[in-house]
Amino acid sequence: MRSRQARPETPTGGGALAVLALASAAFSLAQTAIVPGLGALTEALHTTPENISWVLSAYLVSAAILTPIVGRLGDMFGKRRMLVVALAAFAVGNALAALAPNVWLLILARVVQG
């Protein structure tokens, strides 16, 4: 009897590639878009430059820590599912960052984005 081959989990084609390209562009844009506004954020949130530097650092540290963890979870539970979870967390982080009344909530939002 002939054995059945497992179907690949991710679809082949331009749709999957477009989604992945858009997701990676959004993540990289989230890091670079904040840099020009750091001075304005310092004034708007009435904080120090030392505190506002954590807005950048929190994103980088959380991304460095969570990337291999989410990769492993993707191996265990499915890459598509984990991509959706990561994009949902990124969207929640964006909404939180947009509504942040102080620097500490903004830093927390950047951790969620990472």
pLDDT of residue 3: 57
| Single-letter amino acid, residue 39 | G
Gap between the Cα atoms of 49 and 41, Å rounded = 9
CA within 13 Å, CB half, 104:
0
pLDDT tens string 60-80 = 899 889 989 999 999 999 988
Kindly state the tokens that stand for 48.
């120090």
CB 54 within 8 A of CB 71: no
pLDDT tens string 16-57 = 788 778 878 877 787 778 888 888 888 988 899 888 889 888
Instruction: Indicate the SS3 state at residue 113.
Output: helix
